[in-house]
Amino acid sequence: MAPVTWVGNHMHALVERLYPLCRSITGDGVRATLDIVGEYIPLRTHEVPTGTRVLDWTVPQEWNIRDAYIADSAGNRVVDFAASSLHVLGYSLPVSATMPLAELRGHLHTLPDHPSWVPYRTSYYQPDWGFCLAQEVLDALPDGDYEVRIDSTLADGHLTYAEHVVPGQVPDEVIVSCHVCHPSLANDNLAGIAVAVFLARALAERTPYYTYRFLFAPGTIGAITWLARNAERVEQVKHGLVLACAGDRGSLTYKQSRRGDAEIDRVMRHVLQASDRPHRVNEFTPYGYDERQFCSPGFDLGVGSLSRTPYAGYPEYHTSADNPDFVVPGKMVDTLAVCREAFAVLDRNRRYLNLSPYGEPQLGRRGLYDALGGRSDTKEAQLAMLWVLSLSDGEHDLLDVAERSGLPFDTVAVAADALGAAGLIKE
């Protein structure tokens, strides 16, 4: 992997590049986003037609927008989509009209508590139109007539999502998911996309044990569509992680799967605690990002969610203040590092059987003690071997050994490798 500063700067550059694009749950903004991601990692893109039944949902019409503005009587654009994709209510119907400010106000969205910020609002499944603007801009508008123009289309088309697969030693899969449906919001969702891209590149530098499937899809409807189209092979998904809000200054937060004791939950808790990073571990709730789709009772996959400050947990959430300056390269690097550490543990975590379970086997005769000679952690390594032998009963995995012994997972895994090579344990 490249130096930390290089990685952080390049992740941030990707965030900046994606930021101006107008994304939604469908449309050309999603395709443009995936085209850029495809320059970093190869993608397989899927187009699912409008009207396709996906579980209890139906793929909606495709929305695209070319221009939108509110202009005063002199023709000055007082609100301009060209300045920010947040200025238009997502999925707005086309409009071309002139109306007084009193009538227009019913279609305007602001944040009175943060008068200089523009909110992010949508109307995906209820036909409507509107604009989002700063409260201070609205306050400065004089009464009078305004030209209102939204050059958009809502028509039959497709929902677009993409996958990237890092082949592993086994076909069992780990899903890494991030949403690609939000417009100019840097932490939510672009930082998660950037971390996912560079995580995929890091995993490709080695041959991981599991196959890692990266999913870039619109929130909610995208994950539901993927699950509907992959229901017959969903049993291959053994673990999963949803990435979002991955670059703000907050400490790391892991939201557990619905199960609460899935292996990914245990791994994330262990890695965060062992790293001494400030962090929080939250219980599952059926509200949030796409972990709630993967964890729905019919699928009940072991999928958790990693973020820094969780959704709606910071004032800038879903506002124009969530811009590239709000995202910190070093924090994205930290999020990426935790993912790599967690997946390294996940890839090496196994259950073993002690092949010499009656009494302690003679390690010295097998050269196992000699192999440790001169190491600064010789006693710790010897203790790890004894713990692995003690708990290799087919019921405990190496993570159990690490947690019960208080030893580093890597030390335990190395001990298991040595005992396996000596013929004392087997998977």
Contact 134, 118 (CB under 8 A): yes
Contact 351, 427 (CB under 8 A): yes
Residue 12 backbone dihedrals phi, psi, to 5 degrees: -65, -35
Q: Is 182 annotated as a binding residue?
A: yes
Place of tokens 């995202």: 327
Q: Is 279 annotated as a binding residue?
A: no
Q: Is 239 annotated as a binding residue?
A: no
Contact 254, 361 (CB under 8 A): no
219: its two tokens: 């929130």
Identify the CA nearest to 335 among candidates 193, 169, 156: 193
Point out the annotated binding site.
182, 188, 318
Point out the annotated binding site for Zn(2+).
182, 188, 318
